[in-house]
Structure 1
């Protein structure tokens, strides 16, 4: 069974506060380096709300909460370094898709 999905918006969410300079490079453990590269996709579903204003407020809250969480878990907003031994915590952010 296939469900049609309509993408309403795509946005890059960046951390609310920048990563401190002394934490810009996050070294990966040997186990992390030996494991094959995996991309984790997380899908969270919320029930539709009766009014559009309430839905807009909910999405704005989710984006704000995600931005604050990325400030605490700074490697999630970074990118894998070219040598694949560390994460460059450059605050590029993560993709937030509303569908």
Structure 2
């Protein structure tokens, strides 16, 4: 299995977050939880034949959709501030990583009985057990 990263960037909300919503206070229960990364992986199939501009259009559509979604879910584009137990919703953006795999998703799912944890780590952008810096998304 070969996975290559093509793009890694921060996608910002389509419209700026209102100044009245810039400080999102988290609950006590959220505050006492250990700091850890929780990556989300979405899989999309592309046509077998790479038609002109099909893949760039799909990726562009995903970025625009994420940007629109971050308007409604604005804390996801902010950064956790541990010293004040709040999320600074300053529209820094959500991390977007675009990667390509040289195999079909169905092939990977057929390996379910043989999967090892190390194989799954190839799909993750970071180690979930190691918290990042304060300004990490």
TM-score, L = length of structure 1:
0.91
Structure 2 stretches of 5 or more lacking a match? 100-137
What is the CA–CA distance in structure 1 between the aligned matches of 2:40 and 2:81, rounded to whole Å? 23
| 1:43/1:88 CA distance change after superposition, 3 Å | same
User: In angstroms, what is the RMSD of aligned CA positions?
Assistant: 1.2
Q: Which has the higher contact order (CA 8 A, sep 6+)?
A: 1
1:94 maps onto 2:94 in alignment:
yes
Runs of 4 or more, structure 1, over 2 Å off, are none
Rg larger in 1 or in 2? Answer: 2
TM-score, L = length of structure 2:
0.67
Q: Which of 8, 18, 22 in structure 2 is aligned with 1:24?
A: 22
Equivalent residue number for residue 69 of structure 1: 69
Structure 1 stretches of 5 or more lacking a match? none
